[in-house]
Amino acid sequence: MNLPKTVTICEVGPRDGFQPEKSIIATTAKADIINRVAASGVPVIEIGAFVHPKAVPQMADTDEVARKVAKYPGAQYRALVSNRKGVERAIACGMNWVKLTHSASESHNLSNFNQPIASSVKGFEECLELAKTHGITASAAISVAFGCPFEGKIPLANLEVHIRRLTGYGIREISLSDTTGMGNPVQVYSIASHMVQTFPEVKWILHMHDTRGMALPNILAAMEAGISSFDASFAGLGGCPYAPGASGNIATEDLVHMLHEMGVNTGIDLDLAIENARLAKAIVGHETDSRILKAGKIADLILKKPCGQTKIG
């Protein structure tokens, strides 16, 4: 298989993982788990979202979280923003990386941002100008890139229009999100290969939800296509509150475990990642979709001969 030697994982649990939780999580708990994630060797952490608190109440304290987290060497922190106000808030609390986002379909964009795509993207100009003025890195994400729950599959030509608009603004890091887990390995390989070949100047990130159990094979297909950066969420928490059936992301510990078993380096301590997943599960207080939390690591299995069994041959 044509796999990269190293994969970069971004932990999105503090934002996408906690975002849909109905019980507000304490700011200190968010900051603590972010610090633990950084200490485990995760190189990129999405700590929250500078959005209107009425739209996403769980993210209302992102400013305070940003001020409380420790700055670990080698760890980068980013936050999602949707408008100029979000960038201003990021600047005020010392963030140096923001991520702009819009949807690949009009229906989801209206549901998620309460405006058409053209309006969302138009607002990017002043966001990018402000970020550049203050020396802040800006990346972008496209939601429902592999399928919209309202409109179905997104034509590749439509997706390419969005990407050309973003690269026209000078954005060189773009995340493609499978927001409701509608993608399949053949589709992911096809789209990923096309994007890698058509836009070689872009650093691609995939954000895969495990709604139908296809996130890991989809990530494997993307790796074969040349992509080596992926989002994941501790314990498999998350889901878009504006997309029906959008269950959690791929669990960070599940992804790290698979990659390490295949000899692909992540720089992440798997045992610490599992501890963080257990902590995240305790914080939210309910079951999650993490396979590793349920079954454990392959390396921990101890094969014993059943009692009374006689070896023959």
Active site residues: 240
Name residue 296's amino acid: G
* Exposure class string for 271-282: b at 16+ Cβ within 10 A, else e: ebbbebbbbbbe
102 close to 61: Cβ distance less than 8 angstroms: no
φ, ψ of residue 14 to 5 degrees: the values are -60, -20
Structure token digits, residue 250? 């791929």
φ, ψ of residue 282 to 5 degrees: the values are -65, -35
37 close to 276: Cβ distance less than 8 angstroms: yes
Paired with 50 in beta bridges are 81
Listed residue (106, 104, 261, 117) closest to 183, CA to CA: 104
Going by the DSSP 8-state scheme, the letter that residue 305 receives in this structure is P
Listed residue (57, 59, 52) closest to 12, CA to CA: 59
